[in-house]
Amino acid sequence: MADELLVAKQRFELPELRLTGGGTLRDVAVGFETYGALNAARDNAILVCHYFSGTSHAAGRYRPDDPLPGYWDAIIGPGKAVDTDRYFVIASDTLTNLNAYDPDVVTTGPASRDPATGRPYGLAFPAVAIADFVRVQKALVESFGINRLRAVMGPSMGGLQTFEWAASYPDAMERIIPAIAAPNFNGWLTGWLSMWAQPIKLDPAWRGGAYYDHAPPSAGLEAAMRIMTLHALHSDWTDSAGGRAVADGADPTDVASAPFAIDKTLEDAVRLRAPMADANHMLYLARANQTYVPGAGGGATSVAEGLARIKAPALMIYAPDDLVFLPEWVEATAKTLSGQGVAVETAKLSGPYGHYNGIVRIAEAGKRIADFLARDF
């Protein structure tokens, strides 16, 4: 741990944010962290955007005894693919971050107090778009005096934010590295996101979103997170999680129980994370993903219109076994961008984790990322 990258969460505030869908959100705050140093020319900055259930904790540890580092620590740090001896890396929490009760997360969302009433917003919080996440990020980046980023990158929902940056602010970055993401998804993913959200709405404790003075809808939220987790993993992963085996001591004839090893694995995976999460925040995140259009922050009204605005060279990283952002969507996006003259490269990740290969196996693309960042375009 002696050479461990130690980082601190910082806070960024905006007095107001004009939302893509109309209206204004006041007293906006998000957390962020940085790695490396900004050079005198302010041209070595890279923005990293996080995935649906993630946070700005992309690398390093907050404390030496933290059990795990940030999610992309394998590629961010001194001498790594995103070399913090060379680049200044910024990562920020999104609005409506799922982990609203994590002490290392700062996020404005439904669980926040409305400055006009002093009470949690609940469903009175305005609908937000991924373009709004990016508007906050752009203000954060500009607060450092940075006018043009070396790169924007991120996995999954972070990849959607990357495409939004490239479509709404095409001159604000030199290149993009979206991972395990594609902007041209169809109703398959829209339906899955509704499935993720449904257990929350079916939990009586949800109370139509007005649960902040009562016990939260924990059962619904945990069920939602189990569905999300299983969807993001490939079937090959289940072989290491018990396969079809019955859990120790369980009775497979008891139809009222969840007696299989895979059930316990998913429950264990969610149990520690769920207390940090907020159910309404998950609903808002799901809707922001479902309504995503690249370039919405710049006025685009369709995926085709948004993609047509992108001109930054792209390295698109994907997992062929991804069941969230299907590989054919990624390949189609790459073909579209290439057809309009954008320099596009693709890199594949292997492994049994499906969509999660973009987190746990990202080091496979490390050399491609390092070379892409270092190249002059």
Domain boundaries, the chain: 10-185+292-374, 190-281
Instruction: Respond yes or no: is residue 254 known to be catalytic.
Output: no
Task: Indicate the SS3 state at residue 257.
Answer: coil
Measured distance CA(287)–CA(171) in Å, rounded: 28
Q: What is the pLDDT along the chain (377 residues), one digit of tens a residue?
A: 446 799 999 999 999 999 999 989 999 999 999 999 999 999 999 999 999 999 999 999 999 999 999 999 999 999 999 999 999 999 999 999 999 999 999 999 999 999 999 999 999 999 999 999 999 999 999 999 999 999 999 999 999 999 999 999 999 999 999 999 999 999 999 999 999 999 999 999 999 999 999 999 999 999 999 999 999 999 999 998 888 998 888 888 888 876 889 999 999 999 989 999 999 999 999 999 999 999 999 999 999 999 999 999 999 999 999 999 999 999 999 999 999 999 999 999 999 999 999 999 999 999 999 999 999 98
List alpha helices for the chain, DSSP H. Answer: 130-143, 157-168, 187-202, 218-231, 261-271, 279-290, 303-308, 327-339, 357-360, 366-374
- Catalytic-labelled residue, pool 50, 57, 234, 355: 355
Question: pTM for this structure?
Answer: 0.97
Instruction: Respond yes or no: is residue 322 known to be catalytic.
Output: yes
Distance from chain centroid for Cα 149: 19
- In angstroms, the Cα distances linking 53 to 93, 115, 220, 248, 334 are 11, 26, 16, 30, 26
Beta strands, E only, the chain: 10-18, 24-35, 45-48, 76-77, 82-83, 88-92, 151-155, 176-179, 314-318, 344-348
> Which CATH code, of 3.40.50.1820, 3.30.420.40, 3.40.50.300, 3.40.50.1950, is assigned to 10-185+292-374?
3.40.50.1820
Closest CA to 314 of 348, 343, 349, 347: 343
Find residue 6's DSSP bridge partners. 61
Residue range 190-281 forms a domain whose CATH class is: mainly alpha
Q: What are phi and psi of 27, to 5 degrees?
A: 55, 60
- Catalytic-labelled residue, pool 132, 156, 203, 234: 156
Q: What are phi and psi of 243, to 5 degrees?
A: 55, -125
Instruction: Respond yes or no: is residue 156 known to be catalytic.
Output: yes
